[in-house]
Amino acid sequence: MKIILLGPPGAGKGTIADKLKQEYGIPQISTGDLFRAAIANETELGKQVKSILDRGELVPDELTIALVQERLKESDTKAGFILDGFPRTIPQAEALQTFETLDMVIDFRVRDGIIIDRLTGRRVCSQCGKVYHIKNMPPKQEGICDICGGSLYTRSDDNPESIQQRLKTYREKTEPLIAFYSKLGLLKALDGEGSVEVVWERFKKLIK
């Protein structure tokens, strides 16, 4: 299965990708995670993109496309992959069409108020990357990951200014992809509101 998870930040793409990865054994390719890893490892790429991520803007297309194209050459993608956070612009989607054939694109629909609540309450494990929410999905012990015991942190772009910028960027640059993939007959809309369990059940029905 070659699938794209499309939708605004905080729509639940990463959470569903994580479940999908476990169920189908195919890799989740999150460009945001790849950029954050580059920043944490202080690579050349990381130095180039850090301030862009902090501002909630988009990394230039050429850099992002090259990163994904390289990642998709790895052998673990043969049986399929989940793209989470890519493509985010029309040029990225056009480039992807030249090197991959997709099965479907899931459009996560979530209202802005819910997105803002999800992002401001989001906490991420610094060791294994598991995502929590202080109200909706709290860890058993505050600030500590249930799975690996790592400490939880707030993403530097999960602050009110960056969230507003990310939503604006989404509307301007990413939303046009809905029409793009709809024309290709690949788009399926998912109601992304509700608990993780409810959205996951809806998602499984949709992709059957």
In angstroms, what is the C-alpha Rg of the chain? Answer: 16
Find the shortest distance in angstroms from Cβ 35 to ligand AMP. 5
Task: Identify the residue whose tokens are 């992304």.
Answer: 192
> What are the CA-CA distances from residue 208 to residues 46, 118, 137, 170, 198 (Å)?
38, 28, 27, 28, 16
> What are the CA-CA distances from residue 19 to residues 79, 106, 169, 190, 197 (Å)?
17, 15, 27, 16, 10
Task: Identify the residue whose tokens are 């992807």.
Answer: 96
| Chain residues 88-107 in contact with ligand AMP, contact rule CB under 6 A | 88, 92
Binding mask 47-66 for ligand AMP (x = CB under 6 A): -----xx--xxxx----x--
Q: Residue 127 or 141: which CB sits closer to ligand AMP?
A: 127
CB-nearest residue to ligand AMP? 32
Selected catalytic residue, list 118, 130, 166, 173: 166
Q: Residue 66 or 201: which CB sits closer to ligand AMP?
A: 66
Q: Are 24 and 104 in contact (CB under 8 A)?
A: no
Residue 18 CA to residue 137 CA, distance in Å, equals 15
- 85 counts as binding ligand AMP under rule CB under 6 A: yes
- 170 counts as binding ligand AMP under rule CB under 6 A: no
- 131 counts as binding ligand AMP under rule CB under 6 A: no
Strands 104-109 and 2-6, bridge-based pairing: parallel
Extended beta strands in 66-130, E state: 81-84, 104-109, 122-125
Find the shortest distance in angstroms from Cβ 75 to ligand AMP. 23
Residue 41, burial from CB neighbour count under 10 angstroms (0-12, 13-18, 19+): exposed
Task: Identify the residue whose tokens are 């480039």.
Answer: 95
Selected catalytic residue, list 36, 118, 122, 123: 122
User: Active-site residue 122, yes or no?
Assistant: yes
Q: Can you tell me which of 118, 122, 123, 166 binds ligand AMP, judged by CB under 6 A?
A: 166
Residues that contact ligand AMP, how many (by CB under 6 A): 18
User: Active-site residue 13, yes or no?
Assistant: yes
Binding mask 139-158 for ligand AMP (x = CB under 6 A): ------------------x-
Active site residues: 13, 88, 122, 155, 166
Name the residues that contact ligand AMP, by CB under 6 A: 9, 31-32, 35, 52-53, 56-59, 64, 85-88, 92, 157, 166
